Chain A
Amino acid sequence: MVPESYYAGLSAILFSIGVVGVLVRRNPLVIFMSIELMLNAANLALVAFGQRFGTVEAQALVFFVMTVAAAEVAVGLAIIVTIFRLRHRLSVDDLSLMRW
């Protein structure tokens, strides 16, 4: 049996990589994918700790996180496509202004 701390460590590594990706990359699509990576890491930690304490409730919470992630990706990608139609450029450095 692999100890749960291994799963928590894997989750922490994936979350850190996601944070660095959000901060370093300029392409909003890659930033969104890094956010997905962070949500996945949080899910993994939830499941690992839930199994550790012998409760199923963590898995219900992960289900809700997945739903919110799906809604967030749908709205976020629509916003990115709309901005691209208006600006014809795709870099978060150009998007510091909230009006155009």
Chain B
Amino acid sequence: MEHFAFFTIAFVAVASALGLVLRRNPIHGALFLVVNLGSVAAVYLMLGAEFLAAAQVIIYAGAIMVLFVFAIMVLIPRTEETSPDPLRPARLVAVPLGAVLLLEIGLIWESPLLSTPGATRPPGDIGSVGRLLFTTYLFPFEVTSVLLLAALVGVLALAKRKAP
């Protein structure tokens, strides 16, 4: 039963990722990305990481996708961007490179790290993650706030500039 659920979610995730890459229209791409982010959140739930599943939905599907939607609304795609690409030479490099990366899956399957029986799964609720964030990782956690503030100021500086 758990295998069936996993393979269903994995199929949805891979299909939506392929849809993002293969569809020409960036609006369709954004919708496929929302589906993919949701399915990854479901995978987090299967792994027992409840906090990350909630954070995934709130941060990615909520905040980041809203940014993408606003950007797509500002940059209304014209016909030249929704029509098929002319065949790029990069494609000749990209597809073999993707195949090589996929071969790494084989190495992962053979890895002794994953074939030995694992430790007991840790809790993934917000209590255990928050305790770790506010003790061991307190300094990186504070740096995170500085990073977000710097990004905010940088975006404002870019957006306030008048086009010549």
Contact = CB atoms under 8 A, between A and B. Distances in A.
Given A12-B104, A17-B14, A51 B26 contact: no
Contacts, number: 236
A56 B134 CA distance: 13
B26 A27 contact: yes
Contacts of A48: 47
Nearest to B10: A10
Contact of A56 (B17, B101, B123): B123
Contacts of A95: none
Contacts of A6: 6, 10
Nearest to B6: A2
Contacts of B144: 64, 67
B158 A79 contact: yes
Given A4-B118, A60-B132, 5 more contacts: A10-B10, A29-B71, A47-B52, A77-B67, A85-B163
Interface of B: 2-3, 6, 10, 13-14, 17-18, 20-21, 26, 29-30, 33, 36-37, 40, 43-44, 46-49, 51-52, 55-56, 59-60, 63-64, 67-68, 70-72, 74-75, 77, 81, 85, 88, 90-91, 93-95, 97-99, 101-102, 104-105, 108-109, 111, 113-115, 118-124, 128-129, 132-133, 136-137, 140, 144, 147-148, 150-152, 154-155, 158-159, 161, 163-164
